[in-house]
Amino acid sequence: MRIYKTVEYKFPVKLHAEFKARLKYDEIYMSRFIRACVEAYLEKDPLIMKFVENFKERNNIQNKRIRKKTLKLAQRGAEKKKLFNLEKKEIKEIYDILESDIKVDLK
């Protein structure tokens, strides 16, 4: 059984109308678009992450040093992932194995 959470946000009327019209033109439901954006953000989709980085820079969110460090860490993580050629499912399996080992050690 899926459990959903309702998310509510406010837009200026003009922005909402333009957003709604643009989604209608692209034949995308608003909820589906928002959900896809959230999923892409959580999965660290490179396109979304580039957008977020630009957004933070334009709006002075986080200082420049922290943004740069975060970007370097993300790049190093991507390099490690590529080096070991690990897919999302394989990483989850590794975490599951480690978690089960920890539970055994605690007993």
Above 80 in pLDDT, residue 78?
Answer: no
Is the pLDDT score of 4 beyond 90? Answer: no
For every residue of 51-98, DSSP letters joined together read HHHHHHHHTT-S-HHHHHHHHHHHHHHHHHHHHHT--HHHHHHHHHHH
Grade residue 20 by pLDDT with cuts at 50, 70 and 90: very high
* Of 57-66, 69-78, 95-104, the least confident: 95-104
Residue 104 scores a pLDDT above 60: no
Q: What pLDDT is recorded for position 37?
A: 95
